[in-house]
Structure 1
């Protein structure tokens, strides 16, 4: 597959690294030579110093033969122009990064497709949705719904009160077990567990289950004493903060703290009265306490500085806030944030890359998610008639090591998959695998 990525910024370089491991034919173009100098020597990809909106430059890199053209420069109008040019030169599929919510409205989809932009991606909006799903439940690290919530993925950290510690998984219940442990993050290692593996203290355990068994997962994870989130304090008035405040459920009260007065005035115009805007330094603990930090169930740090966000979450935890979320854009810091027990970590470029990655899979995939902490991916496949996955019960499929089927949705109902489960055409199947193995799994669904 020939893939051209226009823009060697944070999202573009992360995506190029991700895809270069897959042995795809990757060309990364940018008109800033400095940005690309470190990349080509370390990764299996070609870098070209050219403007993404130059017809001559696009012809030189062969945009007309591209299977996928991805424009992720920081400039929205430039991305749209680059996609239009690439389509007219002959690129099969184009994706453009934007920062205008209006463009994503369903009524505008056809308009952009006619222009030559097949898909639009808005990383800040995706990040905000992820934040909201993680603060809905104070005891959850990660929450993700498949098929409108028919099947749910929950990531939770195991504390001393967890009931499932040190028991081999095969002893936890019989065939009627209402959940499946699909992945375990232990230190820097991610396991796709087998029956004789055990859950240990401080593991982050990823469960799949159906909605009615979520309280049961909460009980066995020892999290019943965690208060529900009613009050949210956000540090930093970024675009992600604005979207987060707009997406939170109506029963939550939101306060945004930002030290830029002009930005605070702008936030007041953008957001309705249920969001309180406070002009002040979010690093000032006295100010935060005065504004009710101790009565806040969730603290979200969204400044442009990863270190500040990590430290602010640590300070909030010390003040007794149970749920903290930090935006950590420096990928090297994600492991550190986890070892410091920050809570949920949001990384915009990983989220954006997951969504783009999904577009290049051949099978019918409606969802791909990169688990920020775990080196694992989750994909939701729709099963076609005659595909390999339908030929045998799950235990006899010979799935590659490091993969597991977390569950399936059949006729709108979530089902936890066991060894004897027979997958049928039309099922939506949720697969977990260690990083970079989705391509190996894909052939079972084609």
Structure 2
């Protein structure tokens, strides 16, 4: 598959790293030679030093032969223009990173497709949805729903009160337990557990289950005494903050702390009247206490500075906040943020990469999620007639090492999978896998 990535900034470079590991034919374009030198030196890809909005530059990159053209430059209009030009030259599919929510409205989809922009990615909106999923329940690190919530994935850290510590998994209740442990993050390692493995203190454990058993998961994880989220404080009035306020449930009371007075005035026009906008420094402990941090269950740090967000979450935890979320755009800091136990880490690059990665899969994949801190992915496949995965029980499928089936959705109902489960045509199968190995699983579906 020939893929052209237009823009060697943070998102484009990260995407190039992910895709180059898949042995795809990758071309990275940018008019800034220094960016190309910094990003392309250690990757198996070709670089083109030319403007992605230049016809001659696109010809040099052979846009006419591209299976996928991805515009991820900082400027939305340039991404749209580059995609239109590439499509007119013959690129089969184009994706543009945008900053304007209006473009995503269903009534505009056909209009953009006719222009040659086939898909749109708005990372800030995707990040906001992940933040809202993370703060809905204070005791959960990650929460994702599949097939409208028929099956859910929950990631939560094991404290001393957890009931499942130091017990071999095969002793946890036999085949009738209402959950499946798909992965365990232990220190810097992510483990796909086997029956003899045990859960240790401070592990982040990823469960798949159905919604009715979430209270049971909460009980065995020792989280029943953690307060539910009713009050949310957001530091930084970014576009992600605005979208987060729009997606938060009505029962949550929200405050945004923003240091720039002009931005505060703008925020009052962008968010609902129920959201309180405060002009001040979110790192000021006195201000946080004055604004009721001790009665706040969730603190979300969304400034443009990763270090500030990490430190602010640490301060909020010290002041008693149960749930903290930090936007960490510097990839090098993600491991540190996790080791400091700051809570949920959000990274727009990983989120955007998951959605774009989904577009290059041949199988029918309706959902791909990147677990930022676990170097792992979760994908929802729809099973085709006669596919390999329907030919034998799960235990005999010979799935690649590092992959496990977390569950499936059949006729709208969530079903937990055992080794004897037979997968059928039209089932929606949720697969958890380490690294970017989804492509290797396509042949099964």
- Counterpart of 1:283 in 2: which secondary structure? coil
Query: In structure 2, how many angstroms separate the alpha carbons of the residues matched to 1:305 and 1:77?
Result: 25
1:34: how far off?
Answer: 1.2
Residue deviations 1:150-197 (CA, integer Å, cap 9, x gap): 000000000000000011111111221110000000000000111111
Considering only aligned residues, what root-mean-square deviation do their CA atoms show, in Å?
Answer: 0.6
Identify the residue that residue 68 of structure 2 maps to in structure 1: 68
Aligned to 2:230: 230
SS at match of 1:266: helix
Tell me whether 1:2 sits opposite 2:26 in the alignment: no
Who is 1:173 aligned against?
173
Residues of 2 paired with 1:272 and 1:196: CA distance? 51
The range that moved more, 247-256 or 430-439, is 430-439
1:118 aligns with 2:136: no
Other structure's SS at 1:42 match: coil
Partners of 2:373 and 2:162 lie apart in 1 by 20
Q: Any residues of structure 2 matched to 1:100-249 within 5 Å, and which?
A: 100-249=100-249
Q: Which whole-Å CA distance do the structure 1 matches of 2:321 and 2:191 have between them?
A: 30
**Hey, what's the Cα distance between the residues in 2 that align with 1:218 and 1:359?**
35
Aligned to 1:413: 413
- Mapped to 2, the partners of 1:411 and 1:294 lie a distance apart of 45
Q: What is the CA deviation profile of residues 41-88 of structure 1, one whole-angstrom value per residue up to 9, with x for unaligned ones?
A: 211011111111101100111000000000000111111111110000
Alignment match, 1:299 = 299
Once the two structures are superposed, residues 228-283 of structure 1 have per-residue CA deviations (whole angstroms, 9 ceiling, x without a partner) of 10000000000000000111000001100011000000000111111000001111
Query: Is the 8 Å Cα contact of residues 48 and 60 (structure 2) preserved in structure 1?
Result: no
SS at match of 1:256: strand
Distance (Å, rounded) in 2 between the aligned partners of 1:90 and 1:243: 35
Q: Distance in 2 between matches of 1:11 and 1:151?
A: 30
- Structure 2 matches for 1:363-382, cutoff 5 A? 363-382=363-382
TM-score (norm 1): 0.99
Which residue number in structure 2 is paired with residue 389 of structure 1?
389
How far, CA to CA, are the matches of 1:352 and 1:39 in structure 2?
Answer: 18
Q: Shift of residue 39 of structure 1?
A: 2.1
TM-score (ref. length: structure 2) = 0.99
SS of equivalent to 1:354: helix
> Is 2:263 the partner of 1:260?
no
1:387-436 deviation per Cα after TM superposition (whole angstroms, max 9, x unaligned) = 00000010111111111000000000000100010000000000011102
Which ranges in structure 1 are unaligned for 5 or more consecutive residues? none
1:360 corresponds in structure 2 to: 360
Deviations 1:328-350 (A, max 9, x none): 00011001001100000000110
Distance 1:246 1:288 in 2: 23
1-structure distance, mates of 2:333, 2:172: 35
| Structure 1 residues 279-318: Cα deviation after superposition (integer angstroms, max 9, x where no partner) | 0111111011001111000000000000000000000000
| Aligned equivalents of 1:351, 1:238: Cα separation in 2 | 17
**2:402 corresponding residue in structure 1:** 402
Q: Report runs of 4+ in structure 1 exceeding 2 Å deviation.
A: none
Query: Gapped runs of 5+ residues in structure 2?
Result: none
